[in-house]
Amino acid sequence: MAALHTHKPSHLLSPLRIALRGHALLTSPRFNKGTAFSPSERKTFGLEGRLPYRTNTLDEQCQRAYGQLQARSKPIRKNTFLQSLKEQNWTLYYALLARHLKELTPIIYTPTEAEAISSYSHLFRRSEGLFLSFPDEDILEQLFLDHTAGRDIDLFVVTDGEAILGIGDQGVGISTAKSAIYTLIGGVDPSKSIAVMLDVGTDNQDLLDDPLYVGWRSKRVRGEEYDCFVDKFVQLVRKHYPNSLLHFEDFGSFNARRILERYRDTHAVFNDDIQGTGAVTLACILSAIRISSQSSPSKAPQTLADQRYVIFGAGAAGLGIAKQLRDAVLVESKQDSKNNGGLSREEANKQFYLIDRQGLLHANLSKDILNNLNEGVKEFVRPAEEDWGNDQVDLLEVVKKVRPTVLIGCSTKAGAFTQEVVEAMMDGLEEGARPIILPLSNPSKLVEAQPEDLLKWTKGRALIATGSPFDSVKMEVEGKEREFVIAECNNALIYPGLGFGAVLAKSRRVTDTMLIEGAKRLADLSPAVSEFRSESSDKDGFTTAALLPDFEDAPKVNFEVAITVAEQAVKEGSAGQDMKIGSLRQEAKEKVWVPMYREYVFDEEAGLRET
């Protein structure tokens, strides 16, 4: 157990003073230990005769629960079992997940959670979270306070259900999975986290026609009424919990960035779909640049500003990645004294080539195409003077002309990175440089290229990360058998730490520089970078370690990311006034929540509060 949570020293798990006894204690998921209550606790809290005689350890409870879980063959059945376990015992639920992190995260989150949410009204058993419905707009504050009064809340995860996990408008479906990941991997105390559903209706006709649908049966509210409703909620959070993090989840593309931009300067807000994907991709590229630079220090591009980026797929993910990388280029260039104040936004934009269904986005495309582009995409449209002609320009032509050092796939177009495309990329690189190729589309069947093919076509030189997990690739390179570990570019490697860092620092904002510093810290923890730092490494230019840490290490990695993010918040003045850099690590150790049982002490004055 200690090996799982070394970032939380056991001496910081102080006794917990509570007033619950008997049945009330056993039915409280926050405080229930089940068969793990010690003999003395059973006597003190009136549990004798309510539990079997033998006391179990948490490890034994996890073993039993895992056996029960394995008896269920379908992922959705496992999901509902785990949800039931969560309703009984939070510590056991998170402890079980922590022991089988890679296996069970897809069960409680994507892709299985999408199926659970799509069947939410039919699977509904018990309410979890806060439901705020448009017809109740006039009593919104009363409903908010009824649920939150007297609670110390660090995190609100809010959705309007319009763009759920790639399956679209699902109406009412609470974002408990994202909250659970914040706890499991980020260490946010589950008692200080609330999932919120803003029920503004649904345009899903199947739900509107379903007699069992539990949400407000109405078409979605749009326009000024929608904005006013969302604003009322945000202002309640700002008024009553000014130091909390507000995480927007699964909003539709039209509203997501607009809402983020509206509130990001007045409260600590975050959108994983927009910022998380960009941040973890940035970390991956920073790691890859270090490897490429160290492989051939005299030839390879050394910085973010030296790269040429082709992004295949200009949807929400592709645009989010482009903006995050662009912002990092700007920050990096300003920090480089040789750049005389750094690049302008327009200059940084010119390093990016976005390709969508219409081919390369350039100024000579038809007005109909250009006018229908997302506003955020328009600033990356290539200027007319580059003379790309008036026709659609495909990926291969762009690669041949641009000679990219970084190729990113967010297209869901399986096999788009062909051998011809990859070889053209290799031909355009400076001597000694290694191609950075990130086929990020999910699920794995939609990936732009298989890692094994990319390594074969580049003779082992490609630096690769994928959006889905892939097995390592064994192949012979220059007479030596090697095993290349493929990094998974998973948002969960960074966003829980970004959130916990903001909460730790009591930050009033989540700034671009906080995101960038978090990404840099994640890159520092890259196994590939560590391999190059090792004196035992032969540094022969064929790093086989992963560009990002293994997902099993996500809790420890996010803990380090959180401290870095909090330190940056203090440096730039967005943290709470009482925060000091020198004490942040210790404060993080004290604040981080891990699924381990604490000793209970009865105190009838304690209520449900910890001391």
Instruction: Write phi, then psi, for 248 (nearest 5 degrees).
Output: -90, 130
Q: Is 89 annotated as a binding residue?
A: no
d(CA 454, CA 422): 7
- Cβ atoms < 10 Å from Cβ of 564: 21
| DSSP letter string, 7-60 | TS-GGG---EEE---HHHHHT-TTT--GGG--HHHHHHTT-TTTS-SSPPPHHH
Q: Is 249 annotated as a binding residue?
A: yes
| Residue 26 in tokens | 């056993």
Measured CA distances, 441 to 18, 355, 375, 429, 493 (Å): 48, 14, 23, 24, 17
Handedness of CA 208, 213, 216, 221 (dihedral sign): negative
User: Cβ distance 204 to 273 under 8 Å?
Assistant: no
d(CA 407, CA 439): 8
d(CA 492, CA 462): 24
Burial of 607 (0-12, 13-18, 19+ CB in 10 A): exposed
Radius of gyration (Cα) for the chain, nearest Å?
Answer: 25
Active site residues: 109, 178
| DSSP letter string, 262-320 | HHTTTS-EEEIIIIIHHHHHHHHHHHHHHHHHHHSTTTS--SGGG--EEEE--SHHHHH
| DSSP letter string, 421-469 | HHHHHHHTSPTT---EEEE--SSGGG-SS-HHHHHHHTTT--EEEESS-
Q: What separation, in Å, do the N-terminal and C-terminal C-alpha atoms of the chain show?
A: 24
Given strand 406-409, what is the order of strands in its sheet?
Answer: 359-360, 352-356, 309-312, 406-409, 436-439, 463-466, 487-488
Q: Is 250 annotated as a binding residue?
A: yes
* SS3 state at 87: helix
Q: Please enumerate, by residue number, every residue annotated as part of a binding site for a divalent metal cation.
A: 249-250, 273
Q: Please enumerate, by residue number, every residue annotated as part of a binding site for (S)-malate.
A: 442, 490
Q: Please enumerate, by residue number, every residue annotated as part of a binding site.
A: 249-250, 273, 442, 490
